[in-house]
Chain A
Amino acid sequence: MTSESTLFSNRWLPVLLVSPFMLLIVLFFYVPIFQAFYWSFFLEQPFGGGSMFVGFDNFARVLSDREFWQAGWRTIIFMVTASSLAVLIPLILAVAADRKIRLSLPARNVLVWPKGVAGASIGVVFAFVFNPFVGLLAPLNKAFPGIWAPGIDGTDAFITLIAAHVWSGIPFNFVILLAGLQSIPRTMHQAAAMDGAGPWRRIFDVQLPLIMPQLFLTLVLEFTESITSAFALIDTITHGGPGGATTLLVYKIYKDGFSGYDLSGASTQTAILMVFVILLTAAQFVFLGRRINYER
């Protein structure tokens, strides 16, 4: 990089260059975040009835609500299962595609396609493919009635969501992990081979340790992604049901805010969710990020 004092020294030009973007970010990112916290301390009357400061009342109300805790708990379960699968499966695929085999090239092409299919679109498709009456498992249902019933059984609905989420998440994670694998120098493989490590063993002793930075990154991003991308899937596949079994926090916030007109409650839950995401990201960087720092 250029050393500090060789850079352009104009004072106002950089301000001019950054300000349009900064204005946009402040208005549509920082103001909404600030408002979420602000409204969580006020009670907003619907239909413009004014607002009043209520201290921590909103938090007390939200935190004593059983549905909130259920939605939060489901969010965590979804986050842990969906995002670990959404990293693990692309990881296995990337290790396979990194080998010089005939299927590697077509696979690299095909596995990127889901990037072009919207979450809601694949939700519509999965709603059909996993439809208990006409879908993929309909014949099974005929033989054993009730074995696959995402409309009734919450677990089945949950599995459908996870399958759709992993499908959507393959491109990004696959590309990142494959790029990581391919940046491992060939000599590293050769050195390990000279040390007597076979190809299976090298996966665990050389490849996985060396793509830890990429693995860490995909996991961090996937956690946030799983919390947010779930909305489109829920809204198209399960509508939060059956019986609220797939109502994750993002979906509950949307319902409370836009169908229930409970601005204060939705804002409070948004604030809690944001704090959770920020803490989670920070924790990942503190506990995981510090240990993974290879200079190559």
Chain B
Amino acid sequence: MIENARSLNIAASLILLIGMLYILGPLYLTLATASQSYEFLLRNGLAWYPGDQFLNNAVRIFTETRIPIQMLNSLAVAFSLAIATCILSFLSAYAIVYFRIRWAGVAFALILATIMLPVDIRVITTYQVASNVFSPVNALLDVSGLNGLIAQVFGAPVQLELSVLNTHFGLIAPLAAHGTGTFLFRQFFRTLPGDLFKAARMDGAGPVRFMFDILLPLSRTSFAALFVLTFLSGWTQYLWPLVASSTPDMQTAVVGLARLLPDSDGEVPDFPMIMAGAVIVSLVPLLMIALLQRYLVQGLVLSEK
């Protein structure tokens, strides 16, 4: 279009510049401080330019803190969470979209409701359930009176007990109980032409074949998008890993990093080392964003439509 939008373009450029500065500024200061020594910090305060101590600080993170093993925990949690979410979401969305079932709407609503109340809100009682995943079964046995019967016959009521706290499964399960993936796949399935499904049926494909031969290959980018999205979310979780793990060796890297900050005010913390930790902890997800940004953006857009 022929039109004079110079004033707007200048304003837009300025805004974007400020926006990028807002994002990059703290990241740059983190990097700069991480490469200075503690003494430098005490003398000069905030570092405006990078120094030569990054390796030194990084080595201290790797030798003096539990962050290396916690990074492995984060990797395990984020990776399994992403895989589990992809599989469970795909299967449930497939059932909801492609089968003639009367309860499809109810199931979808029940799944979607999980988006409204994240684990951070229900953390207290989620912790209770995780400390004994059989507690609902016990309660059902109690309420139904079955346990009274069992107590009469066998001498004692059934009290099953299994805690998933401080396990990788326990770290992942409550986070995986989230409906975004199902929503994303359902939206994707609905963009596929209905005739594709009919053509497959005419070709003789049943539910299993249709899923493996047609739907799965076509969903590749949706899988990638959901994987990236969930992996990042798993890596960056804080409250749930904080309460679900009681030993430093089970904590995730983000929790470990936050533990490096002293609880009380007073002396100036060893910010260069902590900042080096922040850099190391954020390296994996940032690398992922750099390499797979296309899928991340697609995932974000798909998850809202």
Interface positions of B from 63 to 119, Cβ below 8 Å from A: 88-89, 91-92, 94-96, 98-101, 104, 107, 110-111, 113-114, 116-119
A4 within 8 A of B: yes
Interface positions of B from 269 to 305, Cβ below 8 Å from A: 271, 274-275, 277-278, 281-282, 285-286, 288-289, 293, 296-297, 300-301, 304
**Cross-interface CB contact of A193 among B1, B120, B238, cutoff 8 Å:** B1
CB distance from A157 to the nearest CB of B (A): 12
Q: Tell me, in angstroms, the Cα distance from A274 to B96 when the chains sit together.
A: 27
B58 within 8 A of A: no
Which residue from chain A places its CB closest to the CB of B15 in the assembled complex? A96
Interfacial residues, chain A to chain B (CB-CB below 8 A): 1-10, 13-15, 17-18, 20-22, 24-25, 27-33, 35-36, 39, 89, 92-93, 95-97, 99, 101-104, 106-107, 109-129, 131, 133-136, 138-139, 151, 167, 170-172, 175-176, 179, 189-190, 193, 198-200, 214, 217, 221, 224, 227-229, 231-232, 235-236, 239, 250, 253-254, 257-258, 263, 266-267, 270, 273-274, 277-278, 281
B184 within 8 A of A: no
Which residue from chain A places its CB closest to the CB of B181 in the assembled complex? A21
- B242 proximity list for chain A (CB < 8 A): 235
Q: Tell me, in angstroms, the Cα distance from A17 to B88 when the chains sit together.
A: 8
Q: Tell me, in angstroms, the Cα distance from A267 to B129 when the chains sit together.
A: 13
- A198 in contact with B3 (CB, 8 Å): yes
- A125 proximity list for chain B (CB < 8 A): 26-27, 29-30, 275, 278
Which residue from chain B places its CB closest to the CB of A282 in the assembled complex? B116
Interface positions of B from 183 to 224, Cβ below 8 Å from A: 190, 194, 197-198, 201, 206-207, 210
- A235 in contact with B238 (CB, 8 Å): yes
Which residue from chain A places its CB closest to the CB of B277 in the assembled complex? A124
The main secondary structure of chain B at its interface with chain A is: helix
Question: Would A111 and B23 be within 8 Å (CB), given that A8-B99, A33-B125, A175-B300 are in contact?
Answer: yes
CB distance from B194 to the nearest CB of A (A): 4
- B27 in contact with A113 (CB, 8 Å): yes
B126 within 8 A of A: yes
CB distance from B40 to the nearest CB of A (A): 10
**Cross-interface CB contact of B301 among A27, A179, A227, cutoff 8 Å:** A179
CB distance from B270 to the nearest CB of A (A): 11
- A116 in contact with B26 (CB, 8 Å): no
- B255 proximity list for chain A (CB < 8 A): 120
Q: Tell me, in angstroms, the Cα distance from A4 to B194 when the chains sit together.
A: 11
**Cross-interface CB contact of A32 among B96, B128, B277, B300, cutoff 8 Å:** B128
Which residue from chain A places its CB closest to the CB of B7 in the assembled complex? A200
Question: Would A250 and B120 be within 8 Å (CB), given that A117-B285, A124-B278, A125-B30 are in contact?
Answer: yes
- A136 in contact with B46 (CB, 8 Å): yes
B20 within 8 A of A: yes
B22 within 8 A of A: yes
B156 within 8 A of A: no
Which residue from chain A places its CB closest to the CB of B206 in the assembled complex? A8
- B198 in contact with A2 (CB, 8 Å): yes
Beyond contacts A14-B104, A128-B274, A236-B261: 13 other A-B pairs, Cβ-Cβ < 8 A, are A24-B173, A27-B129, A27-B177, A113-B286, A116-B286, A120-B238, A121-B257, A121-B281, A122-B26, A224-B116, A254-B123, A270-B125, A278-B116
Q: Tell me, in angstroms, the Cα distance from A120 to B124 when the chains sit together.
A: 20
- A175 in contact with B111 (CB, 8 Å): no
- A267 in contact with B95 (CB, 8 Å): no
- A22 in contact with B110 (CB, 8 Å): yes
CB distance from B210 to the nearest CB of A (A): 8
CB distance from B49 to the nearest CB of A (A): 15
Q: Tell me, in angstroms, the Cα distance from A32 to B177 when the chains sit together.
A: 12
Which residue from chain B places its CB closest to the CB of A232 in the assembled complex? B238
- A199 in contact with B8 (CB, 8 Å): yes
Q: Tell me, in angstroms, the Cα distance from A189 to B232 when the chains sit together.
A: 36
Q: Tell me, in angstroms, the Cα distance from A106 to B23 when the chains sit together.
A: 12
Q: Which 5 A-B pairs have the closest CB atoms?
A: A116-B285, A118-B236, A14-B95, A96-B12, A228-B120
CB distance from A280 to the nearest CB of B (A): 10
- B232 proximity list for chain A (CB < 8 A): 115-116
- Select the residue from A3, A135, A138, A232 with max chain B CB neighbours within 10 A: A232
Q: Tell me, in angstroms, the Cα distance from A10 to B238 when the chains sit together.
A: 42
Which residue from chain B places its CB closest to the CB of A96 in the assembled complex? B12
- A31 proximity list for chain B (CB < 8 A): 125, 129, 135-136
Which residue from chain A places its CB closest to the CB of B24 in the assembled complex? A110
Please, what's the 1-or-0 string for B6-40, where 1 marks a CB less than 8 Å from any CB in chain A? 01110111011101101110110110010000000
CB distance from B271 to the nearest CB of A (A): 5
**Cross-interface CB contact of A13 among B135, B207, B297, cutoff 8 Å:** B207
- B288 proximity list for chain A (CB < 8 A): 116
B268 within 8 A of A: yes
Which residue from chain B places its CB closest to the CB of A118 in the assembled complex? B236
